[in-house]
Amino acid sequence: MIEEKLRIGVIGATGLVGGMILKVLEERGFSNQVIIPVATQKNVGKEVSFASRRLKIVSIEEAINAECDYVIFSAGGKTSKLYVPMFAERGAVVIDNSSAFRKEDDIPLVVPEINAKIINDSRIVANPNCSTIQMVLALAPLHFKYKIKRVVVSTYQSITGTGIKAVNQLSQEEKGEEVERVYPYQIHHNLFPHGGDFMEDGYTTEELKLVDETRKIFSDNDIQITATVVRVPVLGGHSESVNVEFENEFDIKDVFSCLKDMDGIEVIDNPNENLYPMPLFCQGKDEVFVGRIRRDFSQAKTLNLWIVSDNLRKGAATNAVQILQYLCKQRNEKV
């Protein structure tokens, strides 16, 4: 008997995240499946590398007609809003990396280590924002043990979160060349507290994602969250300074134990040897790294954490592929 292969579409295959999705699919055992890469019309007919072979890029219409079993989207909210339902109607399960469906009550927002079981028979699964994923993965074991009351988070986000044009901007600025700016200011030798679009209340859309998505993932709208997003001239890896107040008292040794026991978390915290998480060490890795773990002595039941992760991997591609792996396991599909 010939074993039927899965047909997996990757929408946005030529982007930074799309390219990483292909890489992670290969790493996680999907090399022998039928991978259908999709990109904009100008790239149709070109090729991308996957598992020692070349795959021809097709249009999104061709992918819809290909009757995919699973589709991973990383092509922006407008594209997702238009095309994700079309794939779902044709029988595919879609994992969407944009913000298009994250707030929808009937669409699960998933970090597999925390809440994969809520997927059930959903045809659309939303991948959270990159900065949300790493924060909630670190906070999850602490929330379940001590119950979070309030979170204050400041992020220091890599330019790769904006895309290849941002990478090009930094590269050209470093060389002193004329550059097409993606950001309102230069990023080389600079940083600015601006991620996403500003809203009337002075917060940005990126900051609001941290609030809404954390509450949804933890199924707890009582958690109070305030965020400041900062873009920094780093090529890979988001960092976060997190101050978290709990309803219940904690023991700092137990905090370390909870974090070390959590799947997907690696604790790096040895001040005597200057060991703490940094983007430099997290690039190319799937773990979320946590350090600078210490009690906030200015307020009761409050903890400080420093959280770092590769935003293209666990913050996007890896989390999406982990969702795919979970779905395949639930359906007893061999990869």
User: Does position 1 have pLDDT exceeding 60, yes or no?
Assistant: no
The reply to whether 143 belongs to the active site is no
SS3 321: helix
The reply to whether 238 belongs to the active site is yes
User: What does residue 22 show for φ and ψ, rounded to 5 degrees?
Assistant: -60, -40
- The whole-model pTM stands at 0.96
Q: pLDDT digits over 159-172, tens only?
A: 999 999 999 999 99
Q: Could you tell me which residue, 257 or 120, shows the higher pLDDT?
A: 257
Domain definitions of the chain by residue range = 7-128+316-330, 131-311
C-alpha span between 47 and 57 (Å, rounded) = 6
pLDDT of residue 4: 80
pLDDT of residue 199: 97
Superfamily name and number for 131-311 = Dihydrodipicolinate Reductase; domain 2 (3.30.360.10)
Right CATH number for 7-128+316-330 from 3.40.50.720, 3.40.50.150, 3.40.640.10, 3.40.50.11060?
3.40.50.720
Among 143, 238, 282, 328, the one annotated catalytic: 238
User: Does position 335 have pLDDT exceeding 90, yes or no?
Assistant: no
**Long-range Cβ pairs for the range 265-269 (8 Å, 24+):** 265/137, 265/138, 265/141, 265/289, 265/290, 266/290, 267/291, 267/293, 269/293
pLDDT band (50, 70, 90) for residue 3:
low
C-alpha span between 306 and 105 (Å, rounded) = 31
Q: pLDDT digits over 136-192, tens only?
A: 999 999 999 999 999 999 999 999 999 999 999 999 999 999 888 999 999 999 999
Among 130, 258, 282, 328, the one annotated catalytic: 130
